[in-house]
Every structure is written in C-alpha cells, then in structure tokens.
Structure 1
C-alpha cells in the first residue's frame, strides 16, 4: 500500500508526526521562555509601589534563571529514569501554576511580597527548565528529525 510516489503510507505518517513534533517542541520552548520575558516591562513599577528596591527587583528576576540553572543540572538525570513526556507535563503544570500564583501575590507588600515573588519565580524557573529539557529530549529521541527530505 502506497501513495502515488510509491512511498509507504506509514513512512509519510512518520514524517508528518516528526514534523509536528518539531513544531510542538518549538512552541513549547517559546512559551517556556515567554513566562520569563513577559514580566520585565511592568514588574519594576509594580514592585516599587509595593516597597521593593531595585536590588530586590533584581533578586526576583534572577531567581528564575538561578532555578533554571539548578534544575538543568539535575533534570537530565531524572529524565533518564522516567519518560520525557511525563516531565513535559510536570514542567508545564508547575510553570502554569506558578504563573497564576505570581499574579495572586499582588495582595501582599513589603518583605512578604519579596519572598513570595522570589519563591514563585524560582518554582516557575524550575518548571520552565523541566519543560525545556524534556521537550529537547523528545525532539532528539525522534528519528530523522534533522534529515533533509
């Protein structure tokens, strides 16, 4: 059973699945990095109104990247022990929940605001790293992704 190009249908389905996987992984990477960058334009003004100094604002911003760094070091080992699809779901869930929680932190101020902002950004960075590493692992495990057809 083949198509008009005398190529097996299952091979064509495999190619389309692999291309769809590339699109999904690139979308995942885009969304994971957007969780960090959407904060930069408006957060400093909001945080200053809540009583944070520029140093505190820098701590909140850097906690995301620090968490990504620490999670990148450990998630590779953990992905080898479990399915990368599982870690994609876990990373996406953690990132999503932390983004919602970060929006709810607005009702506090002062030191509690700094701690809660830093904690939610730290956890969001960890989830984003899980999502990124698992997505790249899925992409690299797939066959023929980099082959030009």
Structure 2
C-alpha cells in the first residue's frame, strides 16, 4: 500500500512537456526582469560620475526602481483580472525591454541635469514594465498550476 501511494504521489508531481515549456518561458521572464534590475550596476556609476553625478544621485537612480516596483505591484495585482494577465505580461516585457535599450543610450547625453533626469524617468518606466511582467508571470503560473504552486515557485 505504501508503495502505491508513493507512486501515485510522484505521478501527480510530474509535469507534462507543455507545462515544462510554459515554466521555462515564465522563468525566462523572471530572469529577464532580474537582468533589468542588475545589469546596469557595473557600468552606470562610472558613467554617471563622468557626467557629474554624485554617488547619492546614481544610488537613487537604482533605488527608484525598487521603490516604484514596491508601490505599483499591489495595484497591478488588484487590476490583473480586469486587464488580463497575458496583456499585462506582454506589455510589461515590451516596456521594460525598450527602457533597457534607452538606458543604454544615456551615455550619448552631455549635460548633468538631463542625464540624471532621464535616468530617473527611464528607470521609473522600466520598473513599471518589469513589475507588470513579474506580477503577471506569477499570476499566470498560479493559474496554470493551481495544484502545484509549491513546485512551480
């Protein structure tokens, strides 16, 4: 009896090929959003200082991302059903991706004020996109695997 229960339990935890593909795609979204947060860390401080920014200023540019994410994520979760998680996911990925590319073009600017101002603006919008993608990815995962939430997270 104990062996039968173990087999049925392990069969219940197995994922289909389609589920694995979906998990890989959702995991890629989480990975890409994490890259949005951290990829600038090795490059941005030196570039910001060359434009006349202080350590406080470029530290705040990094911090604003997490602050916006903290503030907007509950709102995204609240309105997820009205908007639709797939729309939120795709829109969030698009916004975050465009902002990552725009952030890479900031080195072409020459003035201190315009550099810092656009840095803040781009990071705020990027955070909105990355937060939307992350919240939607969690919602989609929970919807796709209602009986296996612990396995997928």
TM range (shorter): 0.7 to 0.9
User: Which residue of the partner structure matches residue 135 of structure 1?
Assistant: 137
Question: How far apart are residue 73 of structure 1 and its match?
Answer: 1.8
Matches within 5 A, 1:101-120: 101-108=102-109, 109-120=111-122
Aligned length: 135
Q: Which residue of 1 aligns with 2:70?
A: 69
Map residues 1-40 of structure 1 onto 2, 5 A cutoff: 15-40=16-41
Q: Normalising to structure 1: TM-score of the pair?
A: 0.84
Task: Report the CA distance between 1:147 and its aligned residue.
Answer: 8.3
Using the size of structure 2 for normalisation, the TM-score is 0.82
Match of 2:125 among 123, 126, 138: 123
Measured after TM superposition, the shift of residue 42 of structure 1 is 1.3
Query: Which residue in the other structure is 1:56 paired with?
Result: 57
> Contact 1:19 / 1:145 at 8 angstroms: preserved in 2?
no
- The CA RMSD measured in Å over matched residues stands at 1.7
Work out whether residues 91 and 130 of structure 1, in 8 Å CA contact, stay in contact via their aligned partners in 2: yes
After TM superposition, give the deviation of residue 17 of structure 1 in Å: 1.7
- CA 1:121/1:147 → structure 2, altered by over 3 Å: closer, same or farther? closer
Give structure 1 stretches of 5+ with no counterpart.
1-13
Q: Is the 8 A contact 1:60 1:117 kept in 2?
A: yes
Instruction: Quote how far apart the aligned CAs of 1:15 are.
Output: 2.3
Distance 1:39 1:20, change over 3 A: same
Structure having the larger proportion of residues in helix: 2
Cα distance in 2 for residues equivalent to 1:49 and 1:92: 30
* Kept after mapping to 2: 8 A contact 1:139/1:145: no
Tell me whether 1:97 sits opposite 2:98 in the alignment: yes
